[in-house]
Chains A and B, each alone.
Chain A
Amino acid sequence: MSTKWVYFFGKGRTEGDGKNKNLLGGKGAGLAEMTSIGIPVPPGFTITTEACVQYYKDNKSYPVGLWDQVIAALTELETAMGKKFGDVNNPLLVSVRSGARVSMPGMMDTVLNLGLTDESVKGLEKSSGNARFAYDSYRRFIQMFSDVVLGIGHHQFEHILKDMKNARGVKEDTELNADDLKGLVIKYKALVVEEIGKEFPQDPKEQLRYAIDAVFDSWNNQRAKTYRKINKMSDDWGTAVNVQSMVFGNMGDDCGTGVAFTRNPSTGDKEFFGEYLVNAQGEDVVAGIRTPEPIAKLKTAMPEVFAQLEEVYKKLENHYKDVQDIEFTIEKGTLYMLQTRTGKRTARAAVKIAFDMVAEGLIDKKTAVLRVAPEQVDQLLHPMIDTSVKYDVIAKGLPASPGAAVGKVVFTAEEAESWAAQGEKVILVRAETSPEDIGGMHAAQGILTATGGMTSHAAVVARGMGKCCVAGCGAVRINDVQKFFTAGAPPLKRVTS
C-alpha cells in the first residue's frame, strides 16, 4: 500500500487527525479539528509534512503517489464545492499555504486565488456577477504567483499599479474600475513574458503544481532557516501544504476579513481582541495599506456575523482550553474560519490567563504551570525597552544579561562608584571587566563591554546582579584616555561635569 500523503477536510468530513500537528502542520491540524467540531471552514486538503521531507530526500521530486492523491483530492473538492477547476462558468479557486508543525509567521509562502486563467476569470465574472471583483482577483493572483513562484519582484507590479492609479487620477486601489483592472492584467502578463520569456501559466493544475513546489521550497529559504535557528526548530520537520477553496472577503461591503485573539494577548484580559477590514482580502490586513477597524465595530456593522463569530471563538477556546489566534473571512454575510492556533502572548498575559483559566475551571493548576514558559519569567523581572517607541540602534552586542538601562557613560569602576555615590545613573563601558570592577558594576545601571562572550566575567557577574549587560559589542571603540567611545556614529563622550 502506498503512503497517504494527502488528507481531505470539509463538509463535516475530516480524514486527518486534528491533534496530529507533526503530520498535518499546525494550520492543517487546526483546519481538520475545526471541521470535525462543526465550525465553518472552507473545504480543502492538506499535503503532509512527510511529503515535504520525502521531496527533499528525493532531490526535490514528488514521492510516488503524491500527485495522483492531489488530483483525487481536487476532484473531491470540486464535488464538495459544486465548482470545477478552470471552469468558464463557475470556477473553483484555491489558496495554497504553508504550515509547519510550529507556526513560523510570515516565513514561508502563500498563493491566493489560484485557478484563475484568461478563461476562468470570465467564469468568475459570471458566477459572482461582478467584473471588477473578477479582474481584481486575477491581477492579485498574477502578482502573488509571480512573486512567489516565478521570482518576479512584487515591487515591479506595484509600479505598474501606481502608474495606472496616476493615469486615472485616483489614490486607492478600490477606485479603479473593471476596465482599469482588465488593463492591469494585460500589463502584468506582459511583464511576466518580459521577465521569464514565457506566458503566465494558463493550466490551473500546472499552477497548482508550481505553487506546491514553491511552498515546499520556501521551507528552506533563508528567512525560514534563520527563523528556525533563532527558535531552535529542527530543519528536518518540513512543512505541510494546505490547499483550500477560496472564500472572498473582497466582494463588497457585506464582506471582510480579520484576525483576532480570544483574549487580549498583551494584558491577558478576558476580552475578544482583534481587527478586521471590510471588503478586503487577507493580505490587505498584513500589508498595512488600509487601517483595520477594531473588532468591536463588527458588532454594529454586521451583528449576525459578530454573534456567529462570538459563538465560534468561545467554542474554540473551550475546545482547545487555551487562547486562540484566529483568522476569518466574511463572504456575503457568511462567516468562514481560515485558521486557529495557540495565541502567542506576553509574559504578563501568560500569567494572568493561566490564573484566570484555573479560576474558570478550564484547566487544572498543573496545566497552568506549564502555560508560562520559564524564559518568559525574565520579562517580568527586568526593565524593558518600550517597544512602541522607535530608537536609533548604534551598535549590537551579545545579550549577556537581560533588561534595559539608562545612564551617563563612565569608563572606570572608580568613576562609576563615585558618580553613583553622587546620585548619578551611570552605564559602565569597558573593553572587558575584571573582578576588581565589581564595585563599579554594582553601582552602574548597566554594563557594556567591547569584548567577551556570554560567559565572560561581565556577563556572569551582571546576570548574578540581575543587571542589564551587553557584552562583546565589537563595534564599540573605547578611548579611555580622552574619555569617549565610538560605535560607528559620532563619538559618545563622557559628560565631564
Chain B
Amino acid sequence: MRANADTPHDSRVARDFGAEGIGLCRTEHMFFDGDRIDAVREMILADNEEGRRKALAKVKPYQKEDFLGLFTAMEGLPVTIRLLDPPLHEFIPHTDEEIERVSKASGISADHLKAKATELFEFNPMLGHRGCRLGLTFPEIYEMQVYAIFEAACELVKQGKVVKPEVMIPLVGSYKELEILKDMTNEVAAEVIAKYGVKLDYLVGTMIELPRAALTANEIAEHAQFFSFGTNDLTQTTLGVSRDDAGKFLPIYVEKGIYKEDPFVSIDVSGVGQLVEMGVSKGRSIRADLKTGICGEHGGDPESIAFCQKAGLNYVSCSPFRVPVARLAAAHAALKQ
C-alpha cells in the first residue's frame, strides 16, 4: 500500500494512515512553489541549452531540498519519483492578464512571454511534448532532477539514514526511450554515489500508460526494474477519450450502459484491465522479480483494487486520505481471493 504524495507533509499524512511507501511523487508540483516558478520560467524562456542549464542550476537546490524532505519523511520506505511529466506550456502564463502580472513580477517582457506561449502551443497537449519526450529533447531537465534525487539520497545515507529511491520515467512507448534515459540515470547515480562514497540501492523503472508500452512490455522490462501502471492516461489512450472533455458524453454513456461505470473512477476491466494483465505477464516473462503497481486514481477505488489483486500487482498507490479506504479494500480483495 503506497501513496501519491509530493510534499513531506502529505507523505507524513500517508505514512500515519499506514502507507508503506510513495508510489508517485509528481515533481512538477514542486515547480510551482514560491520563487522557483520564476527560475522554471526562465528555463523555459531560454533560447538555448546554455540558458536552460543556467536556469536549471537555480531550480536544483529547491528540488534537492524537496527530496531531502520527502526521503526524511519516508525514511526506510521506497519513494517513487516521477521525472517531469507535463508539457512546458503549463508553467507559463496564457491570458493577457496573467502575462501582464508575470511580466511585472519577473521583469520578462510581455511580448517575449506571449511569443513563447504561441511557440509552445499544442493542439493536443495530452499527446504532445510531455513525459519522457521532454527528457529526450531537453536532457538537461531530467539530468538536473536525477542529480537532485541522488545528491539528496546520498546526503541522507551519509547521515546514517535508510533511503530507497525509485526513479520513474513517464510516458514511455518504446523501450529505446527508456534505454536512453535509464542509462543517463545510472551514469548520474554512479557519479553521485561515488562522489559521496556511500552505498545506495535504487531502482529505475517506468510508467505503463500507453497501449504500446503494455503491448511491448517484454521489451521494456529488459530496461525497467519496476512498472507503475498510470491508469489515468492508459484509460485515456486506450479508450481514445480525453478525460477533460468527457463530461459532455461520459455520463450519458454510463446511463445507456455502454460503460458500466465511469472508466476514470473504476477501471475498465475488460479493456484497460487486459492491457494491465498483459503488461504484468509480458514484463514478468523477462524479469521474474519485476515490481508492479498502479498509481492512477484507480488506486483508491475498491473495485479497481480488487482487480489489481487479481492481476497480481505488488502494490496500489493513491492519495493520502484514500489510504485507509484502499488498505481495507486491499485486505478485502486478498481475503476474498
Contact of A374 among B90, B244, B325 (CB under 8 A): B325
Asked if residues B297 and A436 are in contact (CB atoms below 8 Å), the reply is no
Once the chains bind, are A453 and B297 in contact (CB under 8 Å)?
Answer: no
Interface residues in A371-407 by Cβ distance below 8 A to B read: 372-375, 377-378, 380-381
B324:A377 contact, CB within 8 angstroms: yes
**A 452-476 to B, binary, CB cutoff 8 A, 1 in contact else 0:** 1111100010011110000010000
Residue interface bits B72-92, CB-to-A below 8 A is 1, else 0:
000000000000000000100
Chain A residue nearest in CB terms to B319: A464
With both beta carbons as reference points, the residue of chain B lying nearest to A452 in the complex is identified as: B247
Decide if B322 touches A435 in the complex (CB within 8 Å): no
A369 & B328 in contact (Cβ 8 Å cutoff): yes
* Bound complex: CA A455 to CA B246 (Å): 10
Also in contact, A455 and B328, with CB within 8 A (given A369-B335, A436-B32, A463-B319): no
Are A454 and B265 also in contact (CB < 8 A) when A369-B331, A377-B324, A464-B319 are? yes
Query: Separation in Å of the B268 CB from the closest CB of chain A?
Result: 14
**A464 to B10 CA separation, bound complex (whole angstroms):** 8
A403 to chain B, nearest CB (A): 10
Residue of B nearest to A366 (CB): B335
Nearest-Cβ distance from residue B334 to partner chain A, whole angstroms: 9
Q: For chain B, residues 290 to 324, give those with C-beta under 8 angstroms from any C-beta of chain A.
A: 297, 300, 302, 305, 319-322, 324
CB of B326 within 8 Å of the partner chain: yes
Question: A53 an interface residue at 8 Å Cβ cutoff?
Answer: no
Contact present for B321 and A465 (CB under 8 Å) = yes
Instruction: Assess the A381–B331 pair: CB atoms within 8 A.
Output: no
Among A377, A454, A460, A464, contact of B325 (Cβ-Cβ < 8 Å): A377
Q: How far, in whole Å, are A478 and B265 apart by their CA atoms in the complex?
A: 28
For residue B150, CB closer than 8 A to chain A, the reply is: no
State A452–B248 Cα separation when bound (angstroms). 10
Task: Tell whether, in the assembled complex, residue B32 and residue A378 are in contact, meaning their CB atoms are under 8 Å apart.
Answer: no
Query: Is B27's beta carbon under 8 Å from chain A?
Result: no
Flag whether A246 is at the interface (Cβ < 8 A): no
- Nearest CB of B to A352, in Å: 16
Closest to B257 in A: A235
Residues of A within 8 A of B297 (CB): 455, 460
- Alpha-carbon distance between A456 and B243 when the two chains are bound, in angstroms: 9
Q: Which A residues between 9 and 51 are near B, CB-CB below 8 angstroms?
A: none
Cβ-defined partner of A370 (8 Å) among B90, B247, B305, B332 = B332
Q: How far is the CB of A81 from chain B (nearest CB, A)?
A: 43
Q: Does B264 contact A (CB under 8 A)?
A: yes
Among A374, A463, A465, point to the contact of B302 (Cβ < 8 A). Answer: A374
Contact of B329 with A by CB under 8 A = yes
Is B321 within 8 A of A381, CB to CB? yes
Cβ contacts under 8 Å, A377 to chain B: 324-325, 328
* CB–CB A378/B325 < 8 A: yes
> A150 interface residue, CB < 8 Å from B?
no
A205 nearest CB across to chain B (Å): 38
Contact A453 B32, CB 8 Å, known A366-B335, A464-B321: no
Q: Which bracket fits the contact residues of A?
A: 20 to 34
B111 within 8 A of A: no
In the complex, whether A438 has a CB less than 8 A from a CB of chain B is yes
Number of B interface residues in the complex (CB < 8 A): 33
Q: Which of B90, B246, B300, B322: most chain A Cβ within 10 A?
A: B322
Measured between alpha carbons, how far is A376 from B232 in the docked complex, in Å? Answer: 25
CB pair A374–B328 under 8 Å, yes or no, is yes
Q: Are A463 and B247 in contact (CB under 8 A)?
A: no
Q: Shortest CB–CB separation between residue A118 and chain B, in angstroms?
A: 48
B228 at the interface (CB under 8 A from A): no
**Cβ of A237 to closest chain B Cβ, rounded Å:** 15
Q: Report yes or no: B325 in contact with A375, Cβ–Cβ below 8 A.
A: yes
Query: Does more than half of chain B's interface fall in helix, strand or loop, or is it mixed?
Result: helix
Which of A232, A374, A438 meets B332, CB within 8 Å?
Answer: A374
Question: CB distance B331 to A455 under 8 Å?
Answer: no
Residues of the B chain whose Cβ atoms lie less than 8 Å from the Cβ of A472: 247
Whether B320 pairs with A466 at a CB distance below 8 angstroms is: yes
Q: How far is the CB of A158 from chain B (nearest CB, A)?
A: 35
- Residues 232-247 of B at the A interface (beta carbon under 8 Å): 232, 243-244, 246-247
The reply to whether the CB of B206 lies closer than 8 angstroms to some CB of chain A is: no
Q: Say yes or no for B63: interface residue by CB 8 A criterion.
A: no
- Which residues of chain A are near B145, meaning CB under 8 Å? none
> Which residues on B sit within 8 Å (CB–CB) of A370?
332, 335-336
> Which residue of chain A has the shortest Cβ distance to B264 in the bound complex?
A455
Q: Chain A nearest CB: distance from B222 CB in Å? A: 33
> Chain B residues near A372 (CB, 8 Å)?
328
Q: Assess whether B4 is interfacial by the CB under 8 Å rule.
A: yes
> Within the assembled complex, what's the spacing in Å between the Cα atoms of A62 and B284?
54
Q: Is the CB of A375 within 8 A of B302?
A: yes
Q: Known contacts A372-B328, A374-B302, A454-B265: does B32 contact A464 (CB below 8 Å)?
A: no
List of B residues within 8 angstroms of A373 by Cβ = 302
| Most chain A CB inside 10 Å of its own CB: which residue of B10, B32, B302, B319 | B319
**In the complex, which residues of chain A have a beta carbon less than 8 angstroms from the beta carbon of B320?**
464, 466
Per-position binary interface string of chain B over residues 107-119, scored 1 when its CB falls under 8 Å from any chain A CB and 0 otherwise: 0000000000000
User: Taking the nearest CB of chain A, how far is it from the CB of B61, in angstroms?
Assistant: 21
Which residues of B lie under 8 Å from residue A435 when comparing CB positions?
Answer: 29, 32, 90
A477 CB to nearest chain B CB (Å): 18
CB distance from A226 to the nearest CB of B (A): 11
Q: Which residue of A lies closest to B246 (CB)?
A: A453
Interface positions of A from 401 to 460, Cβ below 8 Å from B: 435-436, 438, 452-456, 460
- A207 CB to nearest chain B CB (Å): 36
Chain B residues near A436 (CB, 8 Å)? Answer: 32
Complex alpha-carbon distance, A374 and B309, angstroms: 15
Q: Which residues of A contact B (CB under 8 A)?
A: 232, 366, 369-370, 372-375, 377-378, 380-381, 435-436, 438, 452-456, 460, 463-466, 472
Q: List 16 A-B contacts (CB under 8 A).
A: A369-B331, A370-B335, A373-B302, A374-B305, A374-B326, A374-B328, A377-B325, A377-B328, A381-B321, A435-B90, A436-B32, A453-B246, A455-B297, A460-B297, A463-B321, A464-B10
Since A452-B247, A453-B250 are in contact, a sample of 4 more A-B pairs with Cβ atoms closer than 8 Å, ordered by chain A residue number, is: A369-B332, A373-B302, A453-B246, A464-B4
Q: Shortest 9 CB-CB distances between A and B: which pairs? A: A466-B321, A374-B329, A464-B319, A374-B302, A374-B328, A377-B325, A453-B247, A374-B325, A377-B324
